[in-house]
Structures are given as structure tokens and as C-alpha cells.
Amino acid sequence: MPVGWHPVTELYPAAILWDLDGTIVDTEPYWMTAQTALIESYGGSWSHDEALDLVGSGLWRTAQTMQRHGVELSEDAIVALLSEQVMQQISLKVPWRPGAKELLAEVRKAGIPTALVTMSIGRMAEHVRSFIDFDAFDVVVSGDSVTNAKPHPEAYLLAASSLGVDPRACVAIEDSIAGVGAAAAAGVVTIGVPHMLSLDHGPADVLWPTLAGRGVADLAQVFGAYAAAHAAVERVTEAAASESTLSESTVAESHIA
């Protein structure tokens, strides 16, 4: 059996890789409120559309955007301030996304490894994790533990590596354009659950309107359908690359002759 596959059956993914903001918890309104308050405190203005442009992206990109809108703080100070304000709001009320905690619990009960893959800082990720009343994640990859933010695949590749599994044997659950882009680029079977932004034209393998009512069987079904499709595409790509290399070699040999 290939390393990293579920010990019971290969029909199960090796791991489920979860986004946080917008997927497990509906914190995007908290972030937007914090961004607006910060910019307005420096005499600037901030629109809903501008805030939507940052959904799913790295916090240091957010900080740079805040600076361009007149905030006179360092990037790290902005990230820390925004994160603290969002954590304070979470402490008052955790805005769980429908079905997310229930699906996570079922995945854990089934014995499938999990990772949290978020562009929030580690302290924020652990804060949300503290409100989950079971051991939810084997690995946490946060925005301050990677060099490249989503949509770069680094965070998903790191999560799979930390779990000791092949990313192609995993399923990711994401809500943002940057998130599905990152997961897909890492070769992960990707489920998009649109929230604040449409994912109709993104690279997610399948779109679910909600996680409510979904279970491990649904994850296995998606994995079974799309992992095979990914493998077929990969074989075709490898064959084409091999044929191209062979053709170049033949041409080179003919010139030598």
C-alpha cells in the first residue's frame, strides 16, 4: 500500500486539509471590521469591495494594503493588531460555518489525519482551535510559518509533508479564490465551499454550497472521483514530456551524425 494512504481502504483520502477563515469559522466580517476601523483611525476610507479583494490572501499583503491607505505602522504591527481584534471578537462569539465542526468531528472519528492550513497567524489558529471540544488537527500550518502566502502552494505542500503524506492523496476544503488556487496547485483534490466570493471559474474539483449534511462518505466519493482524474492527467502530461524529450534527443543525434 502506498505510504500515506488510509490504513483501511485506499478509497479514503490520506488526510483532509482544512482552511480556517470562511471555511470553519465565518471570521471574514470580523477581519473587515478591524480593517475598516484601522484605516479610518488614520483618516482613510475602506470599501467592501476592497476588503473582498483580500479574502483568503496573506496577512502581510493585507498589511501592505493598509499602509497604502495611510496606516503608519509596520507590517508586523498591523498583522498583530488586526489579529488581536479578530481574536477578541471570536472570544465573544465563535461564528462556526454550517456543518464545518460536525464534518471535522466525523473525519476525526473515522481516524483520518487532518491539518489546518490558514493564512492567519499561528496564535490566531490556536485561539480558534481552543474552542473546539475535541482534538481537531494533527498539524497546523499558519501564515507566519510559510514564506509564500496562498495562492502559492507552499502551505499545502508543507501540511502534507508534515503529515507524511502525498498531497495528491489528500482532500482540501476551501472557500476563497486564493485558497482553492493554492490547494489545486499543490495537486490536492479540492472542494470549494463558496462563501463571500464566487468560485465558479476557479480550479476547485467540485463545489459544495455548504458543509451542512456532508460526511466522510461524501469526502471519499469526491476523492475517489477526482484523484483518479488527476492521476490520468498526470500520466498524459508525463507521457507528453517524455515524448518531447525523446524527440529533442533524436534531433540532436541527427545533427551530430
Over its length of 257 residues, how does the chain's per-residue pLDDT go in tens digits? 334 444 444 579 999 999 999 999 999 999 999 999 999 999 999 999 999 988 878 899 999 999 999 999 999 999 999 999 999 999 999 999 999 999 999 999 999 999 999 999 999 999 999 999 999 999 999 999 999 999 999 999 999 999 999 999 999 999 999 999 999 999 999 999 999 889 999 999 999 999 999 999 999 999 999 988 887 777 666 666 666 555 565 555 555 65
Do 160 and 74 sit in the same domain of this protein?
no
**Helical packing angle, 122-129 and 75-92, nearest 10°:** 10
Look at residues 217, 233, 252 and tell me which one is the last residue of a structural domain: 217
Do 77 and 119 sit in the same domain of this protein?
no
Which CATH number is 73's domain given? 1.10.150
Do 19 and 137 sit in the same domain of this protein?
yes
Do 113 and 73 sit in the same domain of this protein?
no
Number of domains the chain is built from: 2
Do 67 and 135 sit in the same domain of this protein?
no
Do 21 and 145 sit in the same domain of this protein?
yes
Domain hosting residue 140, numbered range: 15-26+96-217
Which CATH number is 177's domain given? 3.40.50.1000
**Helical packing angle, 216-256 and 100-109, nearest 10°:** 80
Omega of the bond prior to 151 within 30 degrees of 0, cis?
yes
Q: What is the DSSP track for 7-58?
A: SS-TTS-SEEEE--BTTTB--HHHHHHHHHHHHHHTT----HHHHHTTTTS-
Do 66 and 186 sit in the same domain of this protein?
no
Do 65 and 190 sit in the same domain of this protein?
no
Do 106 and 162 sit in the same domain of this protein?
yes
Do 136 and 195 sit in the same domain of this protein?
yes
- Tell me, what's the pLDDT at 50? 93
